Structure 1
Amino acid sequence: MNTKPYKTLIIDDEPPARLRLKSMIADFPETFNLIDEAANGNEGIEKIDRLNPDIIFLDIQMPDLTGFEMLKQLTKIPIVVFCTAYDEFSLQAFETNSLDYLLKPVRKERLAQTVDKLRFFKKEQQSEQLIQMLQQFTGSSSPTTKLTSLTIRSGKKITFIKLGEVSYFKAEEKYVTVHTKNGEAHLTDQSLIKLASQLPDNFIRIHRSIILNKELVKEIQPYFNSRFSFRMEDQKLSTIVSGRSYQEIIKTWLKI
């Protein structure tokens, strides 16, 4: 373990979560030296490049740029402790490829386990394994089985929705809503990350919380701040605005 405390950076878009973690880190002054905090992925990249922290506590779900997307843009990856309120990700994969994986709200006794892990963690093994994991979780490797329809359960009722009827998927907090071209909305218990890995090629993720059906796009217009506005060919003529970090993905699709 280091003889000096690790230079530590917290990256989380939720002020209460940052405050809670700062308070807990302060209880381990021999291990962590908190040098700064960041409220989003873009700010996190800037501060990592400028401050060169030894370790970062990184939220996964952040607006515009997720923790995964942020890491993929770094030239040098510090030791990573993932923090999230969502437990849908593979705990084993995170613990293998990063220092640790903490579920919110983070507890002091759980953070103490992270401190213990630092004694045995070998940073030089992290980067390559972490990049491989990021590719897995951002859907770069195509699964052998693609969805053709969705099963929606509501109480004792089961509804089958063909993917051709889906206009777009939108994640809100812990739920994903399926919006169909006839104007209906259905809740599904599948995560957006899982859906992205199983949907066929006519679906594209254009925002951290939105996947749309390319075959039902009626019109696309440039939008300010490197984004695009999509008008869908559904009953509501839904308008969807893309996220900035998906600009290149969209341009590749549109061949522009």
Structure 2
Amino acid sequence: MKNAPYTTLIIDDEPPARARLHKLLESFPETFRVVDEAKNGIEAVEKIYQLQPDVIFLDIEMPGLNGFELLERLNKIPIVIFCTAFDQYSLKAFETNSIDYLLKPVRLERLQQTVDKLSSFKNNLSSATILEVLKEFYHQKEEKKMTSITVKKGDKLIFIKLDEVTHFEADEKYVTVFTNKENHLIEQSLSQLELKLPDNFMRIHRSIIINRNYVDEVQKYFNSRFVIRLNNTKKTSITSGRSYNATIKNWMDI
């Protein structure tokens, strides 16, 4: 553990939960120094950029921005200690020395284990790795039965089969669904889609999710990026984002 206490931000939409955790953390003044609290994900993003905390205690299920969407908005992710009431969805990944997972209501004895983990903590996880762990959490939480996506066309609803979708691309507030036949605009965010889509869909850029079944060729590009060509009618080529390097390499098993 470092010599000075970890500057700490508590993020939870429930005031009693924030108050309880704040009180418990006072039992470990040599480990935690609470600098502020945030009552929702949007406020948390602002305070993280402003205060640059060492540690955040993060509620996973929040209105507006959930834990997954909040972390996606950060350039650099602090040490994350997740808090949730959903014990049936707990993951072994949260029980490592890198990420901890606390079941609500948080208890003093369990918090002591977190303190012990921090004493040997080495922050060597990339932001992309942390996001992958949280994505896995959501995958286990909801069985993926999504086989189509709904698109509004005037007063009608059109159902597009997912196996016809080549990729999704975000542009400001809308997301475009690309198929070999036509394109459609939807109002779901990429983060929402990523939590629901089957495993053959992979995010390769902050604004792009591809259907891996349509990948025709992958070429290495400079700056730890890849150029991915799709086997669609337009032979679309997409340059991946640097932060998705590990995800793509893991998929290609290289």
The TM-score range, normalised by the shorter chain, is 0.5 to 0.7
Distance 1:26 1:43 in 2: 23
Counterparts of 1:123-202 in structure 2, within 5 Å, are 123-125=123-125, 127-137=127-137, 193-195=141-143, 197-200=144-147, 202=148
Cα separation, partners in 2 of 1:248 and 1:96, compared to 1, 3 Å: farther
Q: Deviations over 1:64-109 (max 9, x none)?
A: 1101110111101000000001123242022238431000000011
Per the TM alignment, residue 8 of structure 1 is displaced from its structure 2 partner at its CA by 0.2
1:208-244 Cα offsets, whole Å, 9 max, x none, are xxxxxx17x5757xxxxxxxxxx979xxxxxxxxxxx
SS at structure 2 position matched to 1:83: strand
Residues 106-121 of structure 1: matches in 2 within 5 Å?
106-121=106-121
The residue type equivalent to 1:101 in the other structure is Y
1:93 is aligned to: 93
Give the match's secondary structure for 2:124.
Answer: helix
In structure 2, the partner of 1:46 is: 46
Change (3 A) 1:247 1:94: farther
Distance 1:255 1:232 in 2: 12
> What's the counterpart of residue 185 of structure 2?
255
* Distance (Å, rounded) in 1 between the aligned partners of 2:128 and 2:65: 21
Runs of 5+ unmatched residues, structure 1 = 140-190, 204-213, 221-230, 234-245
Q: Which runs of 5+ in 2 are unaligned?
A: 159-169, 178-183, 187-254
Counterpart contact for 2:93–2:99, Cα < 8 Å: no
| 1:138-192: CA deviation from partner (whole Å, max 9, x where unpaired) | 56xxxxxxxxxxxxxxxxxxxxxxxxxxxxxxxxxxxxxxxxxxxxxxxxxxx8x
Q: CA RMSD in A?
A: 2.8
Cα 1:199/1:33, change in 2 over 3 Å = same
Q: 1:247 to 1:60 in 2, by over 3 A?
A: farther
TM-score, length basis structure 2: 0.59
- Cα deviation per residue 1:95-146 (whole Å; 9 max; x = unaligned)? 238431000000011101100000112112353421322444456xxxxxxx
- Answering whether residue 7 of structure 2 is matched by residue 60 of structure 1, we say no
2-structure distance, mates of 1:249, 1:86: 30
TM-score w.r.t. the length of structure 1 is 0.59
Distance 2:11 2:95 in 1: 19
**Matched pairs, number:** 169
2: distance between equivalents of 1:136 and 1:117? 22
